[in-house]
Amino acid sequence: MDLDWVKDFLALAEHRTFSRAAEARHVTQPAFSRRIRALEEWVGAPLFLRGAQGAVLTAAGTCFQPQAEDLMRGLDRARREARAAGAHADASLAIAATHALSFTFFPGWIRRHAPFETLGALNLISDSMAACEAILLAGEVQLLLCHHRADLPTRLDDGRCDSVRVGADSLVPLCAPSAAGAPLWPLNGPVRYLAYGEASGLGRILAASGVAAGHEPAFTSHLAATLMTMAQEGDGVAWLPLTLAEAAIARGLLVRAGSGELDVPVEIRLFRTRENRSAAADGLWQRLHAPARDRTSQPLAARA
């Protein structure tokens, strides 16, 4: 049995149509259908009823779904724990960062505030916001870098964590330009909406803002980089972090699909729990709270 079959099953159970599930899994529909049939043969019972309205779980599929979800959660937890064990053995500082920030913001930010010659070993774990929250609260990393809004509390705002603002960003509606330079998918007309999945912190922020309300998702992913690629290829409009998309905007690969009133301002924040501390994490924290003129001279491991 291939684990990809289980992921395919869960995608089809969520999206209810083979075409949308195959798109979410980044495979062709014929290949996706073959993998679902292979899983059903392995289980020994049909898992879906196929009809004009899409795919509906059978009684066997309904029974199988929670077991499949538990299996994937268990494997993900085992992966995180094994990865954390390796990180603790070799790294003096472990930081979790959401995918969008690890891709563009993190490298320049860490160089400014903690030169590598002062860091020792550094381990960066990049994952979805939901996974990063779990990693931090489980004590597997000392710090978490993420997008945040004060009016949208998260699991990290319940008193267990401290945080510091380290930057600012905006979610901007973007799409590919037409040959004339106009947006291919202007928001004043019908659009293909490229949306964030439930595990995405950006998705939570965007949903709470209401600016994308009324747009039915044509594609869903928790990866902003995936949405950006699809937007550049003309597949729809996505609200993308400016820190991630600004280079593509400058090169003319993306243009605004709507006015600035549809932008969603967000903070970039660094979180830490009050229990899981280390000299390296404390040193970086102190640098971030030091006056700007002192940050270039204060060593990472300095203590208050």
**CATH number of the CATH domain containing 224:** 3.40.190.10
> Which H or E run contains 282?
helix 279-289
Helix axes 129-137, 201-209, angle to 10 degrees: 120
Domain count along the chain:
3
* 162 contacts 142 by C-beta, under 8 angstroms: no
For 28-68, write each residue's pLDDT tens digit. Answer: 999 999 999 999 999 999 999 988 778 889 999 899 999 98
Tokens of 286: 């102190």
Running DSSP on this structure, what letter comes out for residue 197? Answer: -
- Domain coverage including residue 58: 3-71
Tell me, what CATH number does 27's domain have? 1.10.10.10
Q: Decide if 287 is inside a domain.
A: yes
- pLDDT, tens digit (0-9, with 9 covering 90-100), for 241-299: 999 999 999 999 999 999 999 999 999 999 998 887 777 788 888 888 765 434 333 33
Residue 209 φ/ψ, nearest 5 degrees: -70, -30
Show which of 71, 97, 118 is a domain's final residue.
71
Q: Identify residue 70 by its one-letter amino acid code.
A: D
pTM: 0.65
